[in-house]
Amino acid sequence: MYVATVPNRSSPSAILLRESFRQDGKVHSRTLANLSHWDPARIQALQRALRGDFDHLASPDPTLGLVFGLLFVLKQIADALGLTAALGKSRLAKLALFLVLARVAHQGSRLSAVRWAKDHAVAEVLGLASFDEDDLYAALDDLCVRQEAIEKTLYRRYLDRRGAPPALFLYDVTSSYLEGELNALGEYGFPHDGKRGKLQIVIGLLADDQGEPLAVRVFAGNTGDPATVAAQIRIVKDQFGVQELVFVGDRGMVKSKGKQALKEEGLRYISALTDPQIRKLLSTGTLQMSLFAEQVCEVEADGVRYVLRKNEAEEARVQHRWEDKLAKLSGKVEQRNQRVKKSKRCQPEAGRRQLQAWVARHKLTGQVELRVEDRTITLECNQAAIDRAMQLAGCYAVVTDVPKEQMNEQAVHDSYMSLQKVERDFRLLKTGLLEVRPVFVRKESRTRGHVFCCMLALKLGREIERRLQAAFGTTDADPHALTVSDALAALSRLCLLEYQIDDKTKLTRLPNPDARQEEILAALGVSLPKK
């Protein structure tokens, strides 16, 4: 913490109490309190205290204590979702709740969570005495053991809030890389995030039709996406007791075995075809390119419904990405040729092989050709291959066995597009608010517990976002709308005040929130405790 003097245009400078913190590998700062109304002597005393000199604090004026508002608000929303009750009342349950709340507010490792707790009112809000890193690892183990029971309890609470099961269950898969080589589930597989050369785990997230997380599963890193579907069937059938549902999965996820498994369980599916699958149907005449248009079109063949659409905006994005890759390749070719001209020792063929590897990594094989002529690397485009590759740009072929009387073609299309909500959840889970990766734990139980903790934090974060958007609007529609991070930062400035009564006695009170904090509290439906 430090005291900063900030110029304020024509007004007097603001005196702010700030702290530095690290996020995404960068150092940031945030304001904890506005000290502009303090007298200079009091500010000087605080500065001395921040330097470790506490001799000048013996006064009736309050000092800033632990951060209270942030943890209290998160706890209240967790209570409303039924998360607190689902976790239980034991010390391990309270530690697990702390992990979830800290994941929303802080991210970071278990060790950093212990350090973060020292500045926050953990004992006052959660009733938790001192704990260390080993205690938090034990809580991860406990989360793993009780995961299914907790998910089941939360789903019952979900039904109480919604009044009925979701019409659709959305399901998607991603991967997360690991640090080290000792994780029990770590395997080399296909990295969804492009992080090659690292062991990974596969994560399957099940959500309702609005994208609210309901369950999560962790698989070995070499597990194929379709192989994870059976686990989701067991969740909705055995844990949630749902007998009729429509399962929505990404392109190529619901393959023949998965379709058969769903059919045997009396369940329906909505998925999409991969480009090779579409090309096969085009070659057999089942589909025609003329059917792909901006308007939704449906074709039925052999009892299977195909819902077709072409998104021109997506087509333009694909075209732009291709042009961008070609421009980068041309620049690399020119750079290599300049090096060859400057040095006779530089071998153009070696350069061509390196560039060819780049072509393969960026999926341009067959579309471009690299040759060496007179010590010069030349780049040629195969227009026929390019046209073939771009033929299906922006084209969607959604496949389903849902009867027409239950869902028309537009509803089928919109249901598949709902998967974008799960994809957004993954972005929040992996690189945004929650930072599930990289995974540092080694034991299988702790890996599963860590991912489950992140899913519960995602559930909490989505609820906060929903409440804020209802009050302030969405950031997509209004760039000045309040984000979750902004709201949490404002609440983190709501600190306890400590009054020194005598040498041994302190009186702690909660100050009145400022105007912005009042707005946030009202939007979240949370009232602070009476002072």
The pLDDT of residue 180: 56
Strands (E), 93-180: 168-177
Strands (E), 320-477: 368-373, 376-381, 395-400
The pLDDT of residue 429: 56
Residue 373 lies in a domain: yes
The pLDDT of residue 48: 65
The pLDDT of residue 531: 52
Q: Does 253 lie in the same domain as 232?
A: yes
Strands (E), 68-212: 168-177, 200-207
Q: Does 240 lie in the same domain as 177?
A: yes
pTM score: 0.72
Its domain, for residue 325, covers 314-390
DSSP state of 178: B
Q: Does 7 lie in the same domain as 56?
A: yes
What parts of the chain have a pLDDT lower than 70? 1, 21-25, 45-46, 48-61, 178-183, 186, 189-197, 225, 252-255, 257-258, 424-441, 476-477, 479, 499-507, 530-531
Domain count within the chain: 3
The pLDDT of residue 374: 86
The pLDDT of residue 94: 95
∠ CA 191-228-460 to the nearest 5 degrees? 80
Q: Does 265 lie in the same domain as 171?
A: yes
By C-alpha distance, which of 69, 124, 115 is closest to 94? 124
Q: Does 364 lie in the same domain as 424?
A: no
What number of other Cβ atoms are within 10 A of residue 250's Cβ?
18
All residues at 6 or more sequence positions from 196 whose CB lies less than 8 Å from its CB, including other chains = none
The pLDDT of residue 56: 47
Q: Does 420 lie in the same domain as 347?
A: no
Q: Does 172 lie in the same domain as 251?
A: yes
Q: Does 366 lie in the same domain as 334?
A: yes
The pLDDT of residue 502: 47
What number of other Cβ atoms are within 10 A of residue 166's Cβ?
20
Sheet holding 168-177, edge to edge: 213-220, 200-207, 168-177, 246-249, 268-272, 395-400, 304-310, 297-301
Separation in Å, CA 418 to CA 87, 178, 204, 447: 30, 29, 16, 28
Q: Does 229 lie in the same domain as 181?
A: yes
Per-residue pLDDT reduced to its tens digit, 307-327: 998 888 888 998 999 999 999
The pLDDT of residue 449: 92
